[in-house]
Structure 1
């Protein structure tokens, strides 16, 4: 499943992901995935000139969410602030997903979050 910022906004992206995962992946913590989608897409919107691409891949044993933008610099991890200025998004994503990683290239970066089906520690990512 692929969602692009040219055709949708953050709210619509969440809805598409929710409907897709409810159909194909009942075991995943849907609330956690949607929170991570919101945080990663919001970061791309806010810090990467607004253009992003969201890809969700699923199989019987894993869910992978990739949010790609055109800025090759890795995100800055900063302390969360209670004044509303942010700093919490990546920490929230890190706590909600089984894994969170940053993949960079000269064309941009991808924030990748994954969830493995409970009891399937041997699940691999393709």
Structure 2
């Protein structure tokens, strides 16, 4: 794992740097404990965002974000064939949770079915977040889940 924290690096996929966000990222290799480590990274990020950016989190923001991180990292671990990266970006208005992995297959969103075993991860993420996007990128795919914050 390789954790980075900054205010915004140059990124050829995402564009020019911006001083208007807090950014942290970590690469995971699929070893046991990666999901817990990703959640710990998200928890540290939220703590910094509240302390340094004066972000106001709603009653369920922390738990919703942790669950979204768990689901996205679980999917990356299950369906990609290589390391994957969690990137957390935020300011006082919004938080983005982005996962990059090496698979080019975009996630499938199934209709809700309580009898179906498995396949509920993206359904959960979509229900928790204000916006979810998935797209192919040069390294494989990028899934971004966004949370709007109270102002």
Give your verdict on TM over 0.5. yes
Structure 1's unaligned 5+ residue stretches are: 120-126
Mapping for residues 77-96 of structure 1, pairs under 5 Å: 77-79=109-111, 85-96=117-128
Name the CA distance, whole Å, in 2 between partners of 1:84 and 1:9: 26
Structure 2 gaps of 5+ residues are 1-23
Give distance in 1, aligned partners of 2:75 and 2:111. 15
Q: CA RMSD in A?
A: 2.1
Q: Counterpart of 2:97 in 1: which secondary structure?
A: strand
Residue 103 (1) aligns with residue 135 (2): yes
Distance 1:84 1:65 in 2: 26
TM-score (norm 2): 0.70
- Supply the distance in 2 between the matched residues of 1:112 and 1:52 (Cα, whole angstroms): 13
Whole-angstrom CA distance in 2 between matches of 1:21 and 1:105: 27
CA deviations 1:6-36 (Å, max 9, x no partner) are 3871101101111220231352310000000
Number of equivalent positions: 119
Tell which structure's C-alpha radius of gyration is larger.
2
Moved over 6 A (4+): none
